[in-house]
Amino acid sequence: MKFMRLFFRPLFFKAGYMKFIKMHGCGNDYIYFDCLEKDFPGGSEGERQAAIKLSDRHFGIGGDGIIIIKKGKKADFEMVMYNADGSRSQMCGNGVRCVGKLVYDAGYTKGREFTVESMGAVKVLTVTEGERGDKVEKLSVDMGKPILAASKIPVAIKSENRVIQYPLKIGGVEYKTTCVSMGNPHSVVFINKKPSDFPVCEVGPLFENNEFFPERTNTEFAYVEDRRTIWMRVWERGTGETLACGTGTCATVVAAIMNGLVDAGETITVHLLGGDLEIVWSGNEDDSVFMTGPAETVFEGEINEY
């Protein structure tokens, strides 16, 4: 823990260099910058350009995007998240768990429960499992209430009704989508076998950019194995296929409960390419969705300032 304190605060902006830490939750990896005491160089445009350049897996550090940690206005901390294409994202369930691990391991918070905001939405994080020495291994997040009204997700239906098994023609094939927002829009498609061979990289972009989704969409392709188990792959808007998506996993469980495929109020295990997440939702749209999963540090380093 002493090393982490030394790494982040005094040395973050060494002359001409910036420190970063690479982290992942179930393989959903981001590049993290501690800006609790000093702003990211170049303001929001500098942040956007950094996301594009550094996320490149061949010419940059490599990641699904960047996350910048700042002092919170409405919460203990704020995460500012950019996708790999430089677009802003409202929330990332795997990313916020990694933020939680980072600030806890670095000693920036003393309590095992604290808050993180992203684009105005506040999430409550709890350190739930195993500190390996003084390092967090697993956290639980109150992901807030699911947004189920069509016009608020949003989709191209001016209605307050839910969007359940809505027929949508994509690439000449009719799919049925159930739509949920967890602070960002999701289109959940249930398929009849495990998605290991599903053409996610072909179909995902067609969903993302379909006119039915005015703000684009994340799309989950999910197979329900039994009433407590789901297998899922995800196409994330602005990034492409990722090994996991926390908000997408929450949206998938919400969609599965609305379709009567899994049990409300029970812990549902979702198997993703990068690992497993556990989700609980009561089935009541006034109740929060709770997500529990791991957060891991990959490596630390420094780059030239932009």
Q: What are the residue numbers of the active site?
A: 92, 245
Contact 64, 55 (CB under 8 A): yes
Name 42's bridge partners.
none
Task: State how far the alpha carbon of 236 is from the alpha carbons of 81, 140, 257, in Å.
Answer: 14, 22, 22
298: tokens are: 């990959």
52 CB-near residues (< 8 Å, 6+ apart) = 84, 85, 86
36 CB-near residues (< 8 Å, 6+ apart) = 8, 9, 69, 70, 71, 77, 108
Distance CA 175, CA 177 (A): 6
142 CB-near residues (< 8 Å, 6+ apart) = 123, 124, 125, 288, 290
Region of residue 54 (left: phi > 0; alpha: psi -120 to 50; beta: else) = alpha
